Amino acid sequence: MSHQYQAIGWNRQKRFYDLTVIAGVVIYVGLFVGLSAFFFPYATAETMLIRATGSAAFLLLHVVLCIGPLCRLDSRFLPLLYNRRHLGVLTFLLGAFHGVFGIIQFHSLGDKDPLVSLLTSNGNFRSLPDFPFQQLGFFALLILFLMAATSHDFWLRNLTPPVWKSLHTLVYVTYALLVGHVTLGVLQSETSPVLAIATGVGLATVLGLHLAAAQRERRVDGTKLKAVPEGFVDACDVHGIPEKCAAVCSVNGERVAIFKYDGKISAISNVCRHQNGPLGEGKIIDGCVTCPWHGYQYLPDTGASPPPFTEKVSTFRTKVVDGRVWIDPKPNPPGTRVEPSRIQASEMRA
């Protein structure tokens, strides 16, 4: 979190993350090319590079898609989410290398423009084994470019988080296109079952993790809160909230994070203004609710970021009654101060 504009806010963790990922990709491509040269000595260097970068991009996209649900299922994966966008940009760069080399190798030697050749040379849309799989890869690359180009916080701020997130939901369309590209492309000519099994395992992993995470989220959203006097709802037990952490409940379809700290209770929207991260899965650090995704901070009583920052989230009125936390389902405008509810000594001990 920084109030001064910086193209990239480099820090030690970011450098370590990026260096690790780049080293991993270099080792993967090196091993792929080396082993291919050993086992398939007749293959050309261009073919090996096309396959190495294409498979690296596809593998990296699997990693990108698995990070989100893994973090929802187990908070120990959160450090991976910190720079997930960098993985996305690297996926695009590898895909672009694969695509450009592929177009040069297969479409640049005729009398047609390479792009026209790519889009028109195969029209067998009704045949699965002869389907124009390269076109699927081309459209996937276009979407990856769009996402990589708008991955910076500049675009996040200008497009607003909901629009930006909707745009980046296209990653699932990309994934579907690439599964088609691989299945109807390389798997049609590959005689070894290894690649087919690896693709199937990757697909099952991505779908399985997302469905498991969605099931877990559904439970939180599906819990009905009991109405109590004065228009409040009974949200949770005070003792169920760990100190300086939150319980998350769903009120009128939106999630609220109820924080316990220093004998007090405050409730704010669960949605971080930066990238819609889950504030209720963060902690109170230095007196501020800290988003677990990128460290954006908010004061628990006002929902406002400490000066000079300007982000604000909605707050909710709370009460502590007989060891239970009640909240008013009606949100206050973002940044509105609400006096925290005090937890009585008897309720602390209970």
Partner 1 sequence: MIQPLRKTHRAIFLVLAVLLPVLFLSGIAFRHSWPGIKSDQVRLARARR
Residues found near partner 1 in the complex (CB under 8 A):
128-129, 162, 165-166, 169, 172, 175-176, 179-180, 183-184, 187-193, 196, 199-200, 203, 207, 210-211, 214, 217-218, 221, 253-255, 269, 271, 276
Radius of gyration, CA atoms only, the chain: 25
314 contact partners, CB below 8 Å, separation of at least 6: 268, 269, 303, 331, 332, 333, 334, 336
CB of 119 to partner 1, least distance (A): 21
Residue with tokens 């672009």: 96
Cβ(327)–Cβ(314) below 8 Å: no
CB of 157 to partner 1, least distance (A): 16
CB of 203 to partner 1, least distance (A): 6
Residue 25 or 291: the one with the smaller Cβ distance to partner 1 is: 291
CB of 72 to partner 1, least distance (A): 11
Residue 210 or 324: the one with the smaller Cβ distance to partner 1 is: 210
Residue 188 or 310: the one with the smaller Cβ distance to partner 1 is: 188
Residue 49 or 71: the one with the smaller Cβ distance to partner 1 is: 71
- Report phi then psi at 213, rounded to 5: -65, -40
CB of 285 to partner 1, least distance (A): 23
Residue with tokens 């690790």: 20
Cβ(132)–Cβ(125) below 8 Å: yes
Kind plus residue range of the DSSP H or E element containing 250: strand 246-251
Q: In the 8-state DSSP scheme, what is residue 22?
A: H
61 contact partners, CB below 8 Å, separation of at least 6: 91, 171, 174, 175, 178
Residue 214 or 285: the one with the smaller Cβ distance to partner 1 is: 214
